Structure 1
Amino acid sequence: MDVLPPFHRAALLLDMDGTLIDLAATPDAVVVPVGLPVALGTLRDALGGALAIVTGRPIETVDRLFGDAPGAVAGEHGGAIRHHRGGSIERPDLPVPPAVWLEEAETLVRAFPGALLERKARGFALHYRQAQEARDVFRTALTELIGASSGFQLHPAHMLWEVRPIGADKGSAVMALMREAPFAGRLPVFIGDDVTDEDGMRACRKLGGAGYRVDEVFLDPAGVRSWVGRSAELGCWGPLP
């Protein structure tokens, strides 16, 4: 297992859904446990501001759920980045999916009651948690929809398929965050729960830091929250489970 870098030299980068908060039946149904934003804010201050949430969700969603608890946010898999609290949102030059793709996605969702279309600034996701018979249909349809496009890729995640532009992933998000204060010069630690987070873990290791999967180290989001809370209380890393 990776070794945590010294606390005073570290930066903490956290996935959101399935890592900090429990997954829910729909994206809008997630719940932020009482006390978590305060613990994150305390840990952020102890790390000199170098704590970020790195997620596939829009930054606006993170703000609604967590307020100013994280020091920075990378949303949409790096398609939108805010380097510090109160800062402006930067967007790399990435393509927007054609309108016809979204029209087709809406048609697909209507064919499967319970399925959901999640729109993002540079892409979209089809959720099938409540329509699991749609899994393979969505994958096939989206693969054909993208076709030979050189600008987009199809990615799996928790009970969803996501279409997003090439060049937007959690590895690029980590690299962008780590180039600027208060993250620059620190050793990053990434915690995430699925395949989309592995890019972020690899980027952190490349920079001399560490990466941890929730299921392998913390068991579940409750374990992550317990560790975050303990680290906030101590003002240094709490012991890993």
Structure 2
Amino acid sequence: MPNSRRRSRDVSPVGPRIQPRQEGAVADIGFPLGTVPRLPADAGFFLDIDGTLLDIAERPQLVRIDDDLGHLLATIRDASGGAVALISGRPVAEIDRLFGRNFCVAGQHGAERRDATGKMHQHRVPLAGLRKALKRLRAMAAEHPALVLEDKGMNVAVHYRSAPELGATVREALRRLVEELGDDFELQSGKMVMEIKPSGKNKGTAIEEFLAEGPFRDRLPVFIGDDLTDEFGFELINRVGGCSVKVGEGNSAAHWRLPNADAVRAWLKRFVEREREES
């Protein structure tokens, strides 16, 4: 008999974790906005979007990219020999709409990825069952208009930021759907969101795949993220001796900390400015 209990588990890492900082990482004591390392010239960057580069919006489609952020990312990309990847729960097509087709990118929590050559890699999953689940979730969203249903293609998310009292209802509904879908899908928690996603793919697996390729190979990997979904990335970065940076409050496997998206941008600008001074 299939183990439905395993299928419906919430795959987000949870609970407090206190780990030593990366061996050899030196704190950037001159940076006043957080506890972060001094980045070397050979850093490679993996950047979450919502809650990290941008403040979280009430609805995902409401975010806008300002010119300063676009210029900053392009400058870091050029300074690092192209070693910048956007790592997001959003679909790749949506990320490209926001940032242009200018970066390596992993979307839908690693279910799809575009490498530095422009080649797309997609995790193959049976979508017929997910379409049926989506139909039932649309009915739930119609019953509760404060919920935001997001169809990403291979993932389906339900945001309850405008109705936190519905969190338990959303979680239980998605848990049951994941149980019905079987081993190909699993439940993912996030900040005021629950998501059905393909099993076995996450931000950590996406970063690991990038690290085996140019231009990230042999660079010091840096991953910045803010959510439960980013913990997989932090744990991978820690295993390979990179720099993991958590944005905001809460328990995390990350070794370093920044308070908000503004501080993230300020720290990245500091890297750019130092590179200019030393070049």
TM-score, with structure 1 as normaliser: 0.91
User: Residues 168-187 of structure 1: matches in 2 within 5 Å?
Assistant: 168-187=201-220
**In 2, are the aligned partners of 1:171 and 1:200 still within 8 Å (CA)?**
yes
Instruction: Assess if the C-alpha contact under 8 Å between 2:247 and 2:260 holds in 1.
Output: yes
Task: Label 1:109 to 1:134 Cα distance change in 2 as closer, same or farther (>3 A).
Answer: same
Quote the offset at 1:97 in angstroms: 5.8
For residues 96 and 8 of structure 1, the distance between their equivalents in structure 2, rounded to whole angstroms, comes to: 43
Residue deviations 1:95-136 (CA, integer Å, cap 9, x gap): 436121111111111111121111122120001112223211
Matches within 5 A, 1:1-241: 1-2=21-22, 3=25, 4=37, 7-70=40-103, 72-84=104-116, 87-96=118-127, 98=129, 99-147=131-179, 149-215=182-248, 217-235=257-275
Letter in 2 for 1:20: L
Shift of 1:150: 1.4
Structure possessing the higher relative contact order (Cα contacts under 8 Å, 6 or more residues apart): 2
Q: Distance in 2 between matches of 1:97 and 1:5?
A: 48
C-alpha change, 1:5 and 1:178, in structure 2 (3 Å) is farther
Structure 1 unaligned runs (5+)?
Answer: none
Q: Secondary structure at the match of 2:265?
A: helix
Identity of aligned residues (%): 37
Q: Measured at CA, do residues 166 and 183 of structure 1 come closer, stay the same or move farther in structure 2, by a change above 3 Å?
A: same
Letter in 2 for 1:104: R
Q: Which runs of 5+ in 2 are unaligned?
A: 1-20, 26-36, 250-256
CA distance in 1, matches of 2:189, 2:275: 36
Residues 41, 275 of structure 2: 8 Å contact kept: no
Aligned residues: 235
Residue type of the alignment partner of 2:160? Y
Q: Bigger radius of gyration, 1 or 2?
A: 2
Distance 1:37 1:102, change over 3 A: same
Are residues 145 and 184 of structure 1, via their aligned partners in 2, closer, same or farther at CA, if it must alter by over 3 Å? Answer: same
Q: Residues 174, 236 of structure 1: CA spacing in aligned structure 2 closer, same or farther, 3 A cutoff?
A: farther
The 8 Å contact of residues 115 and 210 in structure 2, kept in 1 or not, is answered as: yes
Please give the secondary structure, in 2, of the residue aligned with 1:205.
helix
- RMSD of the alignment, in Å? 1.9
